[in-house]
Chain A
Amino acid sequence: MNFDSRKYVFIVIFLFIGVLYISKLFYMQVIDDTWSLRAQVIAEKRRLITPPRAVVFDRFGKKIVANRTYYNLMMVENNIVDLDTVAFAKLIGWTKEEVKQRFIDIVANEGEYYNRHMGKMDPNYRPYRSYPFIKELTSDEMVKIAPYLENYKGFYKEVTSMRDYPYGTGANILGYLSEVNQNEIDKDAFYKAGSRIGRSGIERFYEKDFRGTKGVKYIITSALSATIGSFEDGKYDTTAVQADPITLGLDVLLQGYGEKLLKNKRGCIVAIEPSTGEILALVSSPNYDPNLLVGNRKIKENYPKLLENEDKPLFPRPLASEYMPGSTFKLLQSLIGLQEKVIDENTGFPCNKSVVGCHNHPSAQSVTDAVKMSCNPYFYALTRRIIQQGKKSNDNEDAELGLDIWSKYMHSFGLGKSLKTDITGLRPGLIPTPKYYDHWYGHHNWKFSTIRSISIGQGEVQVTPLQLANMAAIMANRGWYYTPHFVKSFGEKGPKEEYIIKHKTLVDRQHFDPVVEGMRRVVYEPGGTARRARVDSVVVCGKTGTVENYRGSLKLRNHSVFIAFAPMDKPKIAISVFIENAGGGGGTWAAPIASLMIEQYLKGKVKPSAKEKRILDAILLQKER
């Protein structure tokens, strides 16, 4: 039998498989791109590069927030060869046990996942991935380790950048950074585990202006996640762009000086440039060095201490503390009285101590003198006229109408509502409205005599030191203000738009002159309450305040308040100073501190004097008499 024809069976099979394979290859390689996309997922990785955050300059170009290089000591377990634990521990300054424990902790920190194949929990940790062994080593620490690192295979250094505050001031303004939480990672694709985000201050408020633009690097990675090379020679890569430097209106020397003055005192100073609304200084005391909260290691160490400190250094007093304004409030009562025409410049009221307490002085014969002498009965009478204008026959209804008018004036001065300053943590203060008293006393169940303490800035009225400083700026500008703000310019772009809108108060320009003259007399005339506020060759206008306060029924030492601006013509600085439980009056502590701040800002330095020494030496931490 001849089986030669069977060769065709073979030839057919071979050709069939050849055609089949070529067809499949053509489909896989040319037509269908499923496998190409899978290959991309497998081998190509996008690596995001985070630029250093924007640096910050003060108004005179001093760098106040910089970035400093730190190092992470990284390790890849699979690359570690014969680790001499003892020698390694010695190199990094740990004990042998700590090193061993660290390895255990790294695995534990990664958590576990449910392995479907094995039906049990498996660690997320992968011995071929890199993990930080020690985070955030300073250059000095790294210098000691780096030369010997090549003896320890599997360990290498990685550069990171963290904040540095060369002046160590303004912690409550600048804020601090910390690592993002899972919620933040989920919400914003910019962040990944280990990214840092602004937690407070302007770093938080302007997070997006600080963080810059991420760069993307397309790389080819191995199955062990090692980088093999850039994809297509980096054709699609983009570079990380650091955000433009941010210039603040802050004068870092003034800020530092303010912090020095408030040492051993509780209180705050806010200084504003009236013509722009730029915040020159915002001191909260007690405060802390912002360098204490740089990086996880330091945050872990220092944050709990700061949080537990009973003087609350983390609390931004100038923004969030609501105080009664005391006699500083009398300036506004005068202005409203003049605008409402319930008085004129030369209206006098007797200093009738039977209504409200006062100090000994002659009766004021004009609003100017009333301001100078801070006469309580005068402003009592004046405010009564504002509240009870007699437009309605019923006293209660009349008071309702009057208070409504009054509160609108107050709002126009930026009181009773949050200023839209570019920082988080602002409080609104309180300007009572008719609704407010209706709630407490019942509708039409109150009149001026019920609420009379508001006339001298006590009672229900509350303002923040920032609002108080803004009030000083309004006095300086004679009737208008820009919302106080920190950022003078992003790169060359200037501030955000809302800070170049001029806000006008409801009081006309001409009514300011007698009141401002009163403020001058406060400082310069006999009988004025703040002669300690004088500054050589500069005319300072100010107003003191003495705020009584109680803990329960226990009367505590008075708060000492002072607001001022200088020079009287073309003012360059408006300031509020608030010293808690200082004792004495506004002229005792707050006024001299304000004058030193004005001197520092206008002259660039302060001549050593007995006045300065007295402030620096004072310890005013006791609350009770």
Chain B
Amino acid sequence: MRKNESIIGNIDWPLLSGYIVLLVIGIGTIYSVAYDPEHPNLFDFSQKYGKQIMWLAISLFLGFLVFLIDSDIYQKFAVPIYLFTLSLLILVLFTPPINGARAWLGIGSMGIQPAEFAKIGTAIILARFLSTSNIKKQDRRMVLIANGIILIPMALILMQPDAGTFVVFTAFLFVLYREGISYDTIIIPILNAIPISSLRFKQTWIGTHFIPILFVVIFLSVITLLYSSTVISIDFLDIEMGGYWGVFSFLVALFAAAYIFMRSTFTRRDRKRAATIAIIGLLLSVSLTATVDFGFQKLAEHQKDRIELVLGLKEDPNGDDYNRYRAMAAVGSGNFSGKGYRNASVSSVESNHVPESETDFIFCPFAEEWGFIGTFILVILYIFMILRIVFIAERQKSVFNRVYAYAVAMILFYHFAINIGMNIGFAPVIGIPLPFFSYGGSSMMSFSMMMFILLKLDSQRKDVLN
């Protein structure tokens, strides 16, 4: 009994409070959106709000079990748990597709989505693997295994196909970065094979900061795409050139500036290195943008359209851009103080202008009803929770706990950023739920379990001596 009391005493109440507040707002929003005048009871299980409450109850029960079970088991049974979730991901591929994807196990509305639970399995085994005492984070085999752990479920999810969750799994790469996984063991042999200079690298920035750099690369690609189908004209020079050349000139200017900056500040030895880095960086960026541009031009027209829509280069209110156009209209129409609870005229289920407004687009009715006041509070709440998890992660003595906590933080962040991003035109429309908010049993259960395991691990952090 002493142990149980200590659990309650050691629970991170700020995080738990944030979780509960989000749940309440979420169910309130579902009640508003899916309200059926013939079934006004919040606990009517024939309605979505009733069902969501049922899912919540199941989640809380699972959470209760998590608190009863000693946290050691996650570390002990990490591999079986991971293999179990993988086997579910394989199993689901043999089910008949629903809406074009084999994502559901079970019957009808009582089914579960294995991909949601695979996040927990992957988080646990990643924590288990990175917390292994004899791990060498610079070892190529280790890097490959760590990435393999992430890539196997990703591949299985892509086969469903579920692009949204696939993207979400890249969140784990950031966890590897936090733990210091370096990609040098892969990159250096490749670099050294290129006869650019007589230098032999022992360590590169790219390898060390591979993940952030990877996302810079993605960012650059997007910029390229933004400009590749445009024409840049410089009036006073009477020059017209394709968008790609604009990006190219920009890159050359950027790296030239970087080189000049480095020359004036670095020592002689570093200067040489800086020159090499600048040239390699330039070449890589240029070839990257060239590839992206070339690839884009090679795409079929409808794929181009799709990309242009995603990037907001094009508007097609009634076609491919239908969902996002209407979602943004709904969000924007909330104005400062919103239209009031249960007054969403664009995004209620009844009006149906925004599809999936109780699941993937649930941010819409919330934003419409509560306006900027509501969305401001909600964004703050999510950011607070994510930062709180980082804070929790950093106070762990055990590497296992820290890796797990970072995984939770990143998954949560991805869901938050992509889901809200697609409602405000910052992210492509890929169907992933808003954590604790969207209607749906699997996401409710998996996010709750994830959260409760974290709270449990955190509450026992003092018992663990790793």
Contact = CB atoms under 8 A, between A and B. Distances in A.
Interface of A: 1, 3-4, 6-7, 9-11, 13-15, 17-18, 20-22, 24-26, 28-30, 32-36, 38-40, 42-44, 117, 220-224, 228, 231
A25 B367 contact: yes
Interface stretch (B97-105, B173-181, B430-438): B173-181
B167 to A, nearest CB: 15
B453 interface: no
A18 B333 contact: no
A25 B424 contact: yes
B409 A36 contact: no
Given A28-B332, A29-B375, A15 B351 contact: no
Interface in B154-185: 174, 177-180
B17 to A, nearest CB: 19
Q: Secondary structure at chain B's binding surface: helix, strand, loop or mixed?
A: helix
B27 interface: no
B345 interface: yes
Interface in B307-349: 317, 319, 325-326, 328-336, 345-346, 348
Contact of B353 (A3, A29, A222, A231): A222
A18 B379 contact: yes
B367 A35 contact: no
B383 interface: yes
17 contacts: A6-B178, A7-B178, A7-B390, A7-B393, A9-B177, A10-B174, A20-B426, A24-B425, A25-B367, A25-B375, A28-B332, A36-B329, A38-B317, A39-B345, A42-B329, A44-B345, A224-B352
A32 B424 CA distance: 13
A78 to B, nearest CB: 12
A36 B328 CA distance: 9
Interface in B171-229: 174, 177-180, 212
Contacts of A29: 331-332, 334-336, 367, 371-372, 375
Given A223-B351, A224-B352, A14 B426 contact: no
Given A228-B350, A231-B345, 4 more contacts: A10-B390, A15-B383, A17-B417, A29-B372
A40 to B, nearest CB: 7
A508 B368 CA distance: 81
B383 A18 contact: yes
Contacts of B146: none
B356 interface: no
Contacts of B258: none
B380 interface: yes
Contacts of B325: 38
Nearest 7 CB-CB pairings of A with B: A35-B332, A39-B333, A18-B383, A3-B180, A39-B329, A38-B329, A29-B372
Nearest to A221: B351
B332 A223 contact: no
Nearest to B349: A222
Contact of B372 (A25, A38, A43): A25
Q: Secondary structure at chain A's binding surface: helix, strand, loop or mixed?
A: helix
A6 B178 CA distance: 6
B387 interface: yes
B426 A21 contact: yes
B335 A22 contact: no
A39 B346 contact: yes
Nearest to A231: B345
Contact of B380 (A18, A39, A42, A44): A18
A30 B177 contact: no
A222 B387 contact: no
B424 A21 contact: yes
A222 B357 CA distance: 13
Given A35-B331, A36-B332, A3 B179 contact: yes
Contacts of A10: 174, 178, 390, 406, 409
Given A11-B387, A25-B424, A29-B334, A43 B380 contact: no
* Among A17, A29, A36, A42: residue with most chain B CB under 10 A: A29
Contacts of B425: 24
A462 B285 CA distance: 95
A24 B350 CA distance: 28
Interface string B243-277: 00000000000000000000000000000000000
Contacts of B115: none
A39 B417 CA distance: 24
Given A10-B178, A223-B351, A223-B352, A34 B390 contact: no
Nearest to B382: A18
Contact of B421 (A13, A21, A22): A21
B386 interface: yes
B413 interface: yes
B376 interface: yes
